[in-house]
A and B are shown apart, each in its own frame.
Chain A
Amino acid sequence: MSTEAGTRTTTTTQPSGRVGDSPLRPDGTLKVTGEFAYASDLWHDDMVWGVTLRSPHPHARIRGIDIAEALTVPGVIAVLTADDVPGENAVGLEHADQPVLASEFVRYEGEPVALVAADHPETARRAAQRIHVEYEVLPAVTDPRRAMDDDAPAVHQPGNLVRHLTLRRGDPDATAPVVVSLDFEVGMQDQAFLGPESGLAVPAEDGGVDLYVATQWLHVDQRQMCLALGMPKELVRLHLAGVGGAFGGREDLSVHVHASMLALRTGRPVKMSYGREESFFGHVHRHPAWMTYEFGAERDGTLVYARARTVLDGGAYASSTAAVVGNAGTLGLGPYRIPNVAVDAYGVFTNNPPCGAMRGFGCVQAAYAHEALMDELAEAVGLDPVAIRQLNGMREGDTNITGQVIDSAAPVAELLQIVRDMPMPPPADTSDIRSRPGAVGNTTHGEGVVRGVGYAVTYKNVGFSEGFDDYSTARVRLEMTGGEAVATVHTAAAEVGQGLITVEQQICRTELGVERVVVHPKNTAVGSGGSTSASRQTYVTGGAVKAACEAVRAVVLERAALSLGRPANELRLDGGKIVGSSGEVLVGLGEVLGEDAVEETVEYRHRPTHAIDPETGQGDAHVQFAFSAHRAVVDVDVELGLVKVVALDTAQDVGKAINPDAVVGQIQGGSAQGMGLALMEEIVVTDGHVRNPSFTDYLIPTILDMPPMQVKVLEYADPHAPYGVRGVGEPPTISSGPAVAAAVRAAAGKPLRRVPIRPEHITGT
């Protein structure tokens, strides 16, 4: 095969592009020619295939595992169980509560129980079927609302509560003349990244392992692997393979330890690639949520108080549930000024599929509740949906519900005004079947079609919160190669498709004044780049790259200053040359550097965040907030309950668009994922069993479902962030869905308190 593990992604670009430009992705050509090596494309001489045997039960005790028959299958090289885990049989993103391979209990359907390595994936699958596991099926906790009951079976000891966040501000018992309330339920969404989990583990001569894997955070993977493999980090080396999307679903481990165990045991390189069905069992999902909200307001619509109770189903293991609860609590009332607040947010264990990170992280669920309730309030006081939000919307300098001052732009009113003022789509087009609800299904020729318009607004924390030591490391090297100044940037920050590598190049070009920037393959040979999540990489890793460039630049200019006899602060780097304050070329970079390379490694941290008070939930929990608003226009066939979204327009403040085209791409893609949850995406779980683990029945939007999207980007720089950037990736996923839901409610004239909205919810049948 043409692609060898470890030889990819040393990407060199020709096109120039600095901060604020939109240069092409350095990996783009490889991606359009089919040569880009995703994790599932990796191949190695002498490679064998690993497969996972998973639990068919949501909750059971393992009485015994008999692997003897599986070992007799010709072509099988190894069969491993929990007894073979070399280190601690426990992994987990925040708490190591999940076995690498189940030993005593299985706690969800699909939990890994055993591994097989064989010379062909079909052989390995057949052998896995010959592993005999004796289960004693146990009662399962499958309703998260009952998980905290005294008589509920405990998924873990001491009980099923992962986190209870209490937030009290002002007078929690405040009253108001206008009161509105609702219950809202959000179904379980899947990240549905297109490239299923995959990795290649290669045993090394030093007794260690090199793992090439699609992930979001190499170092947090490494930390867990070291514990599970019982090996020091020097021997557990991770390399980022091509990633086919992530959206939170690759923050937890998948094949990592399993493939490495098989490789270390067999002495052969082992590839593990999930199919789509296994992928649905192989990563965490977005938490389903049950929310009860109440707003009290003055008669003019000004909010007086808000109360909220939220239950999030964490499933069988903790993953990032505690942090999701943190967001659902601290940000759960949306970007509004509310003086009196009482919020209780719970994350619980059940025997349902584990839930964790997904784009929007706790804010997505909450936004459905607070935005639906805001529309209720608007109606109660006789305001339109935009006016009520503008009236109550946060402004810079306001204090949010945890008592944190919003210390940069908070343009809620302006964002809403922008989307309201955008041109409306033309009236319902019934001339072409493809424009109607139901499209080529030919279900309406205009009958029953009602148009609806809905608005929603959100704010989302950027970066990790609540006191987490959130940092990124960057190593930047500047040297002459073939007579040309070349910068090499090395971070471990995962490129998952969003375009971080382009941004890293742009920053290097801008700070070092060179054209040619090589992005070093991402691996654990450099310090942590933190997680590719929480809309944080351009901010934090971008900040690290900028800082590393500045350190390199300082060394270079100091050298130039010495040789030129001029103060360093009068010198700049531009076009591969040292130039003076008025731009005059003083000396070439080659003459300053000679044969030397200047290399600096820098850790960059954003301003610290703080834990919230356990009693009141008060504190400066977050470092930055990103705001967006959506307007959705839908045509609903109210008799059949079918929806055609005809416009999904948005405005978002991004602080500073480092790469404007990529920013728009994030906003459009994020909006589509939000729309998917509103209308079609749900992992249906009955009694702990996933009923639709396939793309036939887990539906994500097609190109015929997506409308044209008008996007307006505001750039109100955050003075505390590098270049003034504000995280981009998540807000669109938060505000788009509630806007769509509001538009469908407007058209259908029904409350619709659950997403995804199914046709039968609209028709009432």
Chain B
Amino acid sequence: MRITTTVNGAVHEVDDVWPGESLLYMLRERMGLPGSKNACEQGECGSCTVYLDGEPVCSCLVAAGQAIGREVTTVEGLATEGQLHPVQEAFLECGAVQCGFCTPGLLVAAHDLLARVPDPSDLEIREALAGNLCRCTGYEKILDAVRSAARRQAEA
């Protein structure tokens, strides 16, 4: 099947998509956007989190066809004109990135949280990011990064 969708502001048209494919597979293997990660294929790890029409979703659980005509934003779309988003800067500088496989999904989830709740409490951060597994950091530096990003956004 043919799928036309807008990803990171650009219209993509891909052909020969198998209808059982996920949005994640389509992004990674057909659109040249491997930033979103495939780590569990069942919505348990959050590594594939992308925005679908402005809402953070697990792209492994969205059928490719469900994205037809929708707007998708991936980790590759968070930076603007080469300038990292404050959430990206904070993750980098706070040591929230080790192996980094969870990072793309966490960035989108944290980006969404701070867009809705500019100054979240620690418990709000924890509940909002509970769907994003990290195996390297123990999450402390991820919390640091989200707090830091909130401050950066407030100052911006």
Contact = CB atoms under 8 A, between A and B. Distances in A.
Physical contact A–B (CB less than 8 Å):
yes
Interface of A: 1-3, 22, 24-25, 27-29, 31-38, 40-41, 43, 120, 122, 191-196, 242-247, 273, 275-277, 432, 434-435, 440, 496-499, 661-662, 664-665, 668-673, 694-696, 700-704, 706, 708-709
A276 B137 CA distance: 20
B99 A29 contact: no
A1 B84 CA distance: 22
Contacts of B18: 120, 122
Interface in B75-132: 75-76, 78-79, 84, 88-89, 91-93, 95, 97-104, 107, 123, 125-127, 129-132
Contacts of B88: 32-33
B40 A665 contact: no
Contacts of A496: 99
B35 A34 contact: yes
Given A40-B38, A440-B127, A668-B137, 6 more contacts: A2-B34, A661-B95, A665-B137, A672-B138, A702-B131, A706-B138
Contacts of A32: 75, 84, 88-89, 91-92, 97, 100, 103, 107
Contact of A195 (B39, B127, B131, B138): B39
B138 A668 contact: yes
Interface in B32-83: 32-42, 44-45, 47, 74-76, 78-79
The residue among B37, B44, B130, B139 with the most chain A CB atoms within 10 A of its own CB is B139
Nearest to B31: A1
Contacts of B79: 33
Given A29-B92, A33-B35, A665-B95, A194 B102 contact: yes
B12 interface: no
A665 B39 contact: no
Interface residues of B, number: 58
A194 B140 contact: no
A694 B127 contact: no
Nearest to B75: A34
B122 to A, nearest CB: 8
A34 B74 contact: yes
B20 interface: yes
Contacts of A671: 138
B139 A703 contact: yes
A273 B138 CA distance: 26
8 contacts: A25-B97, A32-B91, A34-B76, A276-B39, A434-B126, A668-B140, A695-B44, A703-B143
A671 B135 CA distance: 11
Main DSSP-derived SS at the B contact region: loop
Of the listed residues B20, B103, B131, B138, the one surrounded by the most CB atoms of chain A closer than 10 A to its CB is B138
A192 B20 CA distance: 26
Nearest to B87: A32
Given A35-B76, A244-B37, A28 B92 contact: yes
B34 A1 contact: yes
Contacts of A43: 29, 34
A669 B37 contact: no
Nearest to B136: A669
B92 to A, nearest CB: 4
B134 interface: yes
A14 B101 CA distance: 24
A35 B32 CA distance: 11
A35 B20 CA distance: 26
A434 B123 contact: yes
Contact of B138 (A2, A246, A669): A669
A708 B134 contact: no
A330 to B, nearest CB: 28
A40 B131 CA distance: 22
A243 B28 CA distance: 17
B49 to A, nearest CB: 12
Q: Which of B34, B107, B133, B143 has the most CB of A within 10 A?
A: B34
Given A25-B97, A34-B75, A499-B98, A695 B40 contact: yes
B142 interface: yes
A36 B93 CA distance: 17
A32 B34 CA distance: 13
B103 A31 contact: yes
A41 B76 contact: no
Which 9 residue pairs across A and B have the least CB separation, nearest first? A34-B35, A497-B99, A244-B101, A31-B100, A668-B138, A672-B138, A695-B44, A34-B75, A41-B34
Contacts of B42: 276, 694-696
Contacts of B140: 668, 706, 708-709
Contact of B99 (A120, A243, A276, A708): A243
Given A276-B39, A669-B138, A695-B45, A194 B130 contact: no
Contacts of A192: 135
Nearest to A193: B135
